């Protein structure tokens, strides 16, 4: 029995071999089935990718293309042979930022999927939009071996979205921003103005008797007229301004970066002149005029709705007064008085509450291009009233007597900075301080200035006192004596806003002025307006004859600068170089403009 167990019989052995064979066969069969299934799957997958309605790109880990499907070729114009081994950046249009590409790579290299949109370029140069999803492919050990991008052409959808957005924000007839976009731009301008402390002008422009034109000549001509008028309005303003159509023949003009009302007036005149020129429409010659209403932020309102209402009411004022003119919003007397009272009240606490600041605007030598000094300009921000322009609060300070305290503070602040900057930059650096006529009439004005200089140990010839022509008109004997006293103390005197007041040339001769500042309203009109060109040339010639230095204020363009250099004007200040900025920003301006020269003269 034991032997029997150890040695199976012949029958039993052959049965075992048979079973083994069957098992092997079954395993082989299974493997064949599995391979077939795999092949079928691979075939299906390959069909899917070949016939896919979306483009598929497979790259190696370095981003080199190993495979693209036919849809890719159809969309991009590049065949598989053309892109194999290349980087997908062949499609780059330059519209996607390098930072976005960097983020994408970071994400997929970390093993995560990235989804987003590309603005790419087809082989024929056309731009197109793609929505893409890029995923890493990992081997059985979890190591990334490839990346696969699945992309869909969404150009049509994008165009449609753009068209819808355009329709929602632009007027179909004139293609100007409509009321919605106009209001949006106004709100943006107000936010910026509050931060940066400038004015915003809101203008309502309404064509006069437009209804009659429509009735007499028909709507087709009426429409052409609106299109033409829209073009003319747009040509009267700068790129940063907005012209919107509110509806009918009513347009809105927003000037978001106004520093003085004179520039608003200039544009209002330009609009009136431009619309008055004859229109030639469908063989007809038409003459039209406009009525304009202007409201200014923050003077005439803080909110866009209030400014719009006030500009509208000013526009009706223009209509009532005979059309073809502009009017500014005039709040009723009660509102004016109330506003002045508020300014007066808050101004009394402005100094204690640290609401006042001195800003500085660089003065440049027009030969060397270097900053030789700065004009100190006062700034006031009150949490209730917002930014208030010195042109608004200085007259009130003068009226209620606060100007003396304010003027003394300004002088001592400016002299402190003068001392600092002389040590920091150069010993001849100068600061110009505006002094209002009322201050000059305070007894001992000259003594006060000298005391400040002495206390701070600042040399007097680097302080320049700017006074306007107006104060020379009154009490000339007293003023003459005072100016003489300041001159003897070696304080430089400068005549500000020259050309706007009534000062005769005689004054230049009689008073000891060292510097003459040409008002920016003249500079704004050079070199295009002949009158202003002649005037500026004459002022420069006279000042030179009297051995005075000349400063041009409000230089905004290269053209103005070139003209002033040709005319041998000595110094300039203006937005072209730098706006008035805080002391810290002034220092940054000087350090970032490099040491020589601060401004590269063309």
Residues interacting with Mg ion, by CB under 5 A? 434, 466, 496-497, 553
> Residue 266, SS3?
helix
Task: Pick the closer one to Mg ion by CB: 553 or 570.
Answer: 553
Give the position of tokens 């400014």. 307
Least Å distance, CB 496 to Mg ion, is: 4
**Are the C-beta atoms of 486 and 449 separated by less than 8 Å?**
yes
**Nearest-CA neighbor of 472 among 432, 521, 512?**
512
- Closer CB to ligand C2E, 203 or 572, in the complex: 572
- With CB under 5 to 8 Å by kind, the binding choice for 378 among Mg ion, ligand C2E, none is ligand C2E
Rounded alpha-carbon distances, angstroms, from residue 169 to 176, 272, 308, 562: 9, 27, 18, 41
From ligand C2E, Mg ion, none, which one binds at residue 377 (CB under 5 to 8 Å depending on kind)? ligand C2E
566 to 595: interface string for ligand C2E, x by CB under 6 A = -------xxx----x---------------
| 149 lies in the site for ligand C2E, by CB under 6 A | no
Provide the token pair at 385. Answer: 């009233």
3-class DSSP state for residue 552?
strand
Stretch that binds ligand C2E, among 62-70, 160-168, 315-323, 388-396 (CB under 6 A): 388-396
Residue 265, Cβ neighbours under 10 Å: how many? 15
Q: Indicate if the alpha-carbon torsion angle 317, 194, 392, 436 is positive or negative.
A: negative
Q: Which of residues 251-270 bind ligand C2E (CB under 6 A)?
A: 259-260, 263
HEC states along 527-549?
CCCHHHHHHHHHHHHHHHHCCCE
Binding residues among 270-329 for ligand C2E as defined by CB under 6 A: none
Rounded to 5 degrees, φ, ψ at 25 are: -60, -45
Q: Which residue in 293, 334, 289, 290 sits closest to 313, CA to CA?
A: 293
* One residue of 228, 344, 556, 559 binding ligand C2E per CB under 6 A: 556
Q: Which stretch binds ligand C2E (CB under 6 A): 158-166, 248-256, 385-393, 507-515?
A: 385-393
Residue 117 or 355: the one with the smaller Cβ distance to ligand C2E is 355
Q: Which residue shows structure tokens 């201050």?
A: 439
Query: Quick one: 199 or 453, whose CB is closer to ligand C2E?
Result: 199
Q: Which is nearer to ligand C2E, 182 or 407 (CB)?
A: 407
Q: How far is CA 433 from the centre of its chain?
A: 29
Q: Which of Mg ion, ligand C2E, none does residue 77 bind to, with CB < 5 to 8 Å depending on kind?
A: none
Strand blocks (E) in 340-446: 356-365, 371-382, 386-388, 430-434
Of 183 and 397, nearer to ligand C2E (C-beta) is 397
Regarding 374 and contact with ligand C2E (CB under 6 A), the answer is: no
The region of 24-32, 416-424, 540-548, 552-560 touching ligand C2E under the rule CB under 6 A is: 552-560
Size (the chain), residues: 602
| Phi, then psi, of 372 in degrees rounded to 5 | -110, -15
Of the candidates 497, 543, 561, 583, which one interacts with ligand C2E according to CB under 6 A?
A: 497
Among ligand C2E, Mg ion, none, residue 364 binds (CB under 5-8 Å by kind): none
Q: Which of 496, 571, 572, 589 binds ligand C2E (CB under 6 A)?
A: 496
Say how far apart CA 591 and CA 598 lie, in whole Å: 9
If one counts every other C-beta atom within 10 angstroms of the C-beta of residue 74, the result is 10
Three-class SS state of 252: strand
Six token digits for residue 374: 């700065």
Binding residue (CB under 6 A) for ligand C2E from 208, 249, 300, 553 = 553
Structure tokens at 377: 């300009």
In angstroms, what is the minimal distance from the CB of 474 to ligand C2E?
16
Look at residue 556 and give the partner it binds from Mg ion, ligand C2E, none, a contact being a CB closer than 5 to 8 Å depending on partner kind: ligand C2E
Query: What does the DSSP 8-state code read for residue 124?
Result: T
Look at the block and give the residue holding tokens 């590309």. Answer: 118
Shortest Cβ distance from residue 259 to Mg ion (Å)?
A: 12
Handedness of CA 490, 496, 498, 501 (dihedral sign): negative
Size, binding site for ligand C2E by CB under 6 A: 26
CB of 593 to ligand C2E, least distance (A): 17
The reply on whether position 190 binds ligand C2E by CB under 6 A is no
Supply the minimum distance, in Å, between the C-beta of residue 194 and ligand C2E.
16
Task: Choose from Mg ion, ligand C2E, none: what does 369 bind? Cβ within 5-8 Å by kind.
Answer: none
Is residue 358 within 8 Å of 577, Cβ to Cβ? no
Options 69, 304, 327, 361; binder of ligand C2E; rule CB under 6 A: 361
Binding site for ligand C2E (CB under 6 A): 259-260, 263, 361, 377-378, 389-391, 394, 410, 434-436, 466, 496-497, 520, 553-556, 573-575, 580
């Amino acid at each position: 029995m034991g032997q029997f167990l150890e040695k199976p019989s012949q029958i039993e052995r052959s049965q075992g071999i048979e079973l083994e064979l069957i098992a092997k066969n079954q395993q082989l069969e299974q493997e064949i089935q599995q391979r077939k299934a795999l092949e079928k799957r691979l075939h299906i997958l390959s069909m899917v990718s070949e016939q896919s309605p979306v483009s598929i790109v497979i790259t190696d880990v370095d981003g080199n293309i190993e495979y693209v499907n036919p849809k890719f070729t159809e969309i991009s114009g590049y065949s598989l042979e053309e892109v194999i081994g290349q980087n997908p950046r062949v499609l780059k249009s330059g519209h996607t930022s390098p930072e976005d590409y960097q983020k994408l790579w970071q994400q997929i290299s970390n093993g995560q999927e990235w989804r987003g949109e590309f603005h790419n370029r087809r082989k024929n140069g056309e731009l197109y939009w793609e929505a893409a999803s890029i995923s890493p492919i990992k081997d059985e050990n979890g190591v990334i071996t490839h990346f696969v991008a699945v992309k869909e052409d969404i150009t049509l959808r994008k165009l449609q979205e753009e068209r819808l957005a355009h329709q929602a924000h632009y007027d179909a007839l004139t293609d100007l921003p409509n009321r919605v976009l106009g209001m949006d731009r106004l709100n943006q301008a107000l936010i910026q103005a509050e931060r940066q402390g400038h004015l915003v002008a809101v203008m309502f422009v309404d064509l006069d008797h437009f209804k009659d034109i429509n009735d007499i000549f028909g709507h087709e001509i009426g429409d052409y007229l609106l299109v033409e008028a829209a073009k003319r309005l747009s040509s009267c303003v700068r790129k940063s301004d907005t012209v919107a159509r509110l509806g009918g023949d009513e347009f809105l003009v927003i000037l978001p970066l106004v520093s003085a009302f004179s520039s608003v007036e200039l544009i209002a005149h330009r609009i009136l002149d431009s619309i008055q020129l004859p229109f030639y429409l469908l063989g007809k010659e038409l003459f039209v005029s406009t009525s304009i209403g202007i409201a200014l932020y923050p003077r005439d309102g803080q909110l866009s709705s209030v400014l719009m209402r006030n500009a509208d009411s000013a526009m009706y004022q223009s209509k009532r007064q005979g059309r073809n003119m502009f009017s500014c919003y005039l709040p009723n007397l009660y509102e004016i008085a109330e506003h002045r009272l508020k300014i007066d009240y808050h101004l009394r606490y402005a100094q204690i509450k640290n609401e006042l600041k001195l800003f500085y605007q660089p003065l440049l030598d027009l030969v060397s291009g270097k900053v030789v000094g700065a004009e100190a300009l006062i700034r006031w921000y009150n949490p209730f009233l917002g930014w208030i322009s010195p042109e608004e609060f200085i007259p009130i300070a003068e009226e209620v007597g606060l100007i003396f305290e304010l003027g003394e503070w300004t002088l001592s602040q400016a002299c402190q900075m003068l001392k600092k900057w002389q040590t920091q930059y150069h010993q001849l650096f100068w600061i110009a301080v505006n002094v209002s006529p009322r201050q000059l009439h305070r007894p001992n004005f000259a003594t006060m200035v000298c005391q400040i200089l002495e206390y701070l140990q600042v040399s007097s010839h680097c302080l320049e006192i700017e006074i306007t022509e107006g104060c020379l008109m009154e009490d000339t004997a007293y003023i003459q004596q005072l100016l003489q006293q300041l001159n003897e103390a070696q304080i430089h005197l400068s005549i500000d806003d020259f050309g706007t007041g009534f000062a005769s040339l005689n004054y230049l001769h009689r008073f000891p002025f060292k510097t003459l500042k040409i008002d920016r309203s003249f500079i704004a009109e050079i070199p295009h307006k002949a009158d202003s060109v002649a005037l500026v040339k004459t002022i420069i010639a006279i000042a030179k004859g009297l051995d005075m230095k000349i400063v041009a204020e409000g230089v905004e363009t290269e053209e103005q600068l070139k003209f002033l250099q040709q005319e041998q004007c000595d110094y300039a200040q203006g937005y072209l170089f730098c706006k008035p900025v805080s002391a810290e920003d002034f220092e940054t301006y000087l350090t970032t403009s490099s040491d020589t020269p601060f401004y590269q003269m063309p």
